[in-house]
Structures are given as C-alpha cells and as structure tokens.
C-alpha cells in the first residue's frame, strides 16, 4: 500500500495513548469532543477500537475519505514491569471487517530486552496479514533506551531502516533530537532518505513552555517528511481545532 493520499503529505490524528496508560483527557466525553474538533483538519486518524468506533458512528465526526488506522498492540502499559511486552489487542481481520483503511502497530527495539525478537516477529506477522487483507500498515518503530523512546538521530534511523526493510509501507517515527531549524531539518532529511517509503513524524506530549509545535512541523516539512502523526500536542491544547488547522496549513503548504 502507498502512504499519503495521492503521494502528498498528510496530517494524522493520533488517539491511542489512553489505551497504553498514558493519561491525556480523563473524561471520555471531553476526549471525544477534542477529537471531533481536530478531525476536520486531518487526513486520517489512528486510534484504538472504542474511540474509532464512536467517531465512525453516524454524526461521530469522521468524514468519507479520511484514513482510519486501528491501533492493534497496546498491552505494554506505560510505567509497568511489562511495558515492553506489546501484544495484540485487536487483529488485522477485525480492522478489515470493521471497514478501516489500515492498522497501526508500535514496534519497540530495546537493545537490553532479551525478549525483543518477539516484537520484530509480531511486526512481520502483522505486515503479512495486512498485505493479504489489502489494508495499509502504519508502523511506529522506535528504539527504547533507559525506559523511554530515544530521539537520537542514529536511533531514529536505525528503527526506521529495520521496519522499512522488513516491509513497512508507511512509518511513524520520533522527530530527531536536534537544534531547531537547519540542524533538525537535516536530521529529518537523513531519516527520510534512509528509507523508500513515506515517513510521518510524531508529536509527543504537550508541556508548558514547550517549543511551538508549528515550528517542529515546519522543520519536518522542510526536511522532506511526509507529514505528522500527532495527538497530545493537539488534543490537550485549549483550542484543538485551531491547532489542527494551523498544522494542516503547514503540512499541506498553506
């Protein structure tokens, strides 16, 4: 499967954090409201079963033509002893039966995890099943060091190359840790050039005093990224609609 629609860039709304134990918006009604506010400006959404189903219901907020990726492995709850044990909570078959356009899988590569081979085996199996079902596969490969996602450029490249060479058709990776502007643009360009498929860059959490996410988006676009897959930085903003609209304008060259 190809990546962004028509070969262009895309903005994908990420809505699978809560199922991994990452607290975002506690009240579910408020969470859905934030998703619905941002969705009109997004090309697609990745989410776990319940939010995706509610958004696809009549009047739920999804529009025809928007990409829908079912997040299928969420057992590695944040902060637990089994955080790296990412098993399936949904299947490619369910994604196909429910009419979603694809699946999303997170693959964590932890050099000190003796069970890490199972994560790559799962990646290969999901890629095979998605291909057989005619579904897109959005893969999030990350190197995991010291209990967290590594943003070192070498690690981002490593994870991207491993997933790509195993057959991932669309990637979601961290924005490399580099100085804003030219250095970060060059790091993004290095990641994008290391593979032959579109690469979306993830946003991460929203923290007070953080660099504006729009600045990050500009460096991603300038570096040849295929777009953004972003959730918390939009959903936890006081105005998700305005933030999503601003990011969509940058991603699509407005």
* CA 221 to each of CA 24, 71, 100: distance values in angstroms, whole numbers, following the listed order: 26, 25, 27
For 27, the token pair is 């009240």
Measured between alpha carbons, how far is 241 from 34 in angstroms, rounded to an integer? 8
- pLDDT score recorded for residue 17: 96
Question: How many residues can be counted in the chain?
Answer: 254
Q: Report helix, strand or coil for 195.
A: coil
Mean predicted confidence (pLDDT) in 64-82:
97
Give the distance, in angstroms, between the CA of residue 175 and the centroid of all CA atoms in the same chain: 11
- pLDDT score recorded for residue 24: 87
Q: Which domain holds residue 211?
A: 5-251
- What are the pLDDT digits (tens) for 185-221? 999 999 999 999 999 999 876 666 677 899 999 999 9
Q: Which residues pair with 13 in a beta bridge?
A: 45, 230
Give yes or no for residue 95 having a pLDDT over 50.
yes
Mean predicted confidence (pLDDT) in 224-232:
97
- pLDDT score recorded for residue 220: 97
Cβ atoms of residues 233 and 45 within 8 Å: no
Give yes or no for residue 3 having a pLDDT over 80.
no
- pLDDT score recorded for residue 8: 86
Measured between alpha carbons, how far is 28 from 32 in angstroms, rounded to an integer? 6
Give yes or no for residue 100 having a pLDDT over 50.
yes
Give yes or no for residue 108 having a pLDDT over 50.
yes
- pLDDT score recorded for residue 190: 98
Number of domains in the chain: 1
User: Which CATH number characterizes residue 224's domain?
Assistant: 3.20.20.70
Give yes or no for residue 1 having a pLDDT over 50.
no
For 159, the token pair is 């994870």
Determine how β-strand 148-149 pairs with β-strand 136-145: antiparallel
**With bands split at pLDDT 50, 70 and 90, how would you rate the model's confidence at 139?**
very high
- What are the pLDDT digits (tens) for 44-67? 999 999 999 999 999 999 999 999
Measured between alpha carbons, how far is 160 from 35 in angstroms, rounded to an integer? 28
């Amino acid at each position: 499967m190809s990546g962004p629609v028509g070969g262009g860039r895309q903005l994908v709304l990420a809505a699978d954090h809560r199922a991994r134990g990452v607290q975002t918006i506690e009240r579910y009604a408020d969470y859905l409201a934030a998703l619905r506010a941002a969705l009109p400006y997004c090309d697609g959404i990745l989410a776990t079963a319940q939010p995706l189903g509610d958004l696809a219901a009549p009047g739920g907020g999804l529009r025809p033509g928007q990409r829908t990726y079912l997040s299928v492995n969420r057992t590695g709850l944040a902060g637990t002893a089994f955080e790296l044990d990412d098993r399936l909570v949904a299947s490619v078959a369910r994604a196909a039966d429910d009419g979603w356009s694809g699946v999303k899988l997170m693959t964590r590569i932890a050099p000190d995890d003796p069970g890490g081979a199972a994560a790559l085996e799962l990646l290969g199996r999901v890629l095979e099943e998605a291909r057989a079902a005619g579904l897109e596969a959005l893969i999030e490969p990350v190197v995991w060091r010291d209990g967290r996602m590594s943003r070192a450029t070498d690690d981002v490249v490593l994870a991207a190359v491993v997933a790509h060479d195993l057959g991932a058709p669309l990637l979601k990776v961290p924005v490399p840790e580099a100085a804003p502007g030219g250095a970060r643009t060059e790091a993004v360009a290095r990641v994008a050039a290391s593979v032959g498929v579109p690469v979306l860059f993830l946003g991460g959490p929203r923290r007070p005093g953080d660099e504006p996410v729009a600045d990050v988006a500009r460096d991603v676009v300038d570096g040849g990224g295929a777009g953004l897959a972003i959730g918390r930085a939009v959903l936890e903003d006081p105005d998700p609609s305005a933030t999503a609209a601003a990011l969509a304008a940058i991603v699509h060259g407005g």
